[in-house]
């Protein structure tokens, strides 16, 4: 049995049957503002707490924005970087992207070889897709990226922005490539809004697939595993 990697998110490990299997690649999918980046940061922060090195690749924001957002929850990413527990990368690593990615991910591969991180986050792969010139190149490099992560035994969370309209889901290539899929969505009833989470799949691992409500607190995201959504689902 593979080692289980703790996410650090209250309630999520319980839904996942103890955590993420080491070396798995998981997509965290949902609309803007639902809490995907918060979970991703919480996951990386937990790694630092446990002495596991991590890389946070932000395609949308620069490193200073990531550090500032993390600090609002009390997570000192700047200190973690100074202590070599964390490396924050942004999209500038993909300068002349098509050329670098066609050569086994260029600079990123070198960083992985040197740092050998246990945890890896991509926030988000939605914009990652736009680095490629055509659909064939995109799909080939998606597979190469997953293979690269598995070669380095990274346990990966990738956020994916989607207009999830529960219970109707729009499945993408990332959903099928990944070992795991976690869907977050807004449960709406007129003027009321409630964040919810649904662990859809985790290959070779028993999970709780019941939908649970969640909240973002000043200490991070909390999933209420003994509760059901209070707003009627459509």
**Three-class DSSP category at 9:** coil
* 81 within domain boundaries: yes
pLDDT digits (tens, 9 = 90+) for 44-94: 999 999 999 999 999 888 999 999 999 999 999 999 999 999 999 987 776
* 224 within domain boundaries: no
* 226 within domain boundaries: no
Q: 61: domain CATH number?
A: 3.40.50.300
Spatial separation of the C-alpha atoms in residues 146 and 155, rounded to whole Å = 11
* 196 within domain boundaries: no
- Compute, in degrees rounded to 10, the torsion defined by CA atoms 55, 57, 62, 63: 0
Tokens of 208: 């709780």
Q: pLDDT value at position 140?
A: 84
**Residue numbers of the domain that contains 118:** 32-155
Spatial separation of the C-alpha atoms in residues 234 and 232, rounded to whole Å = 7
Spatial separation of the C-alpha atoms in residues 40 and 220, rounded to whole Å = 11
CB atoms within 10 A of CB 86: 28
The stretches in the chain having pLDDT less than 50 are: 97-100
**Three-class DSSP category at 72:** coil
Q: pLDDT value at position 151?
A: 94
Spatial separation of the C-alpha atoms in residues 228 and 146, rounded to whole Å = 34
- pTM for this predicted structure: 0.91
């Amino acid at each position: 049995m593979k080692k289980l990697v703790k996410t650090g998110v209250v309630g999520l490990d319980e839904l996942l049957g103890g955590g993420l299997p080491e070396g798995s690649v998981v997509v965290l999918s949902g609309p803007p503002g639902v809490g995907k980046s918060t979970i991703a940061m919480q996951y990386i922060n937990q790694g630092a707490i446990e002495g596991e090195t991590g890389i946070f690749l932000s395609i949308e924001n620069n490193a200073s924005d990531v550090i500032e957002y993390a600090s609002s929850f009390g997570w000192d990413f700047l200190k973690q970087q100074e202590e070599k527990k964390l490396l924050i990368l942004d999209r500038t690593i993909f300068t002349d992207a098509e050329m670098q990615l066609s050569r086994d991910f260029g600079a990123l591969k070198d960083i992985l070889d040197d740092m050998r991180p246990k945890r890896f986050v991509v926030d988000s792969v939605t914009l990652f897709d736009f680095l490629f010139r055509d659909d064939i190149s995109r799909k080939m490099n998606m597979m190469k990226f997953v293979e690269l992560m598995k070669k380095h035994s990274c346990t990966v969370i990738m956020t994916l922005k989607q207009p999830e309209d529960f219970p109707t889901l729009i499945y993408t290539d990332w959903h099928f490539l990944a070992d795991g899929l976690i869907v977050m969505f807004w449960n709406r009833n007129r003027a009321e809004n409630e964040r919810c989470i649904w662990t859809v799949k985790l290959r070779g691992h028993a999970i709780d697939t019941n939908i649970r409500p969640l909240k973002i607190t000043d200490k991070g995201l909390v999933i209420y595993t003994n509760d059901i959504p209070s707003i009627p689902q459509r």
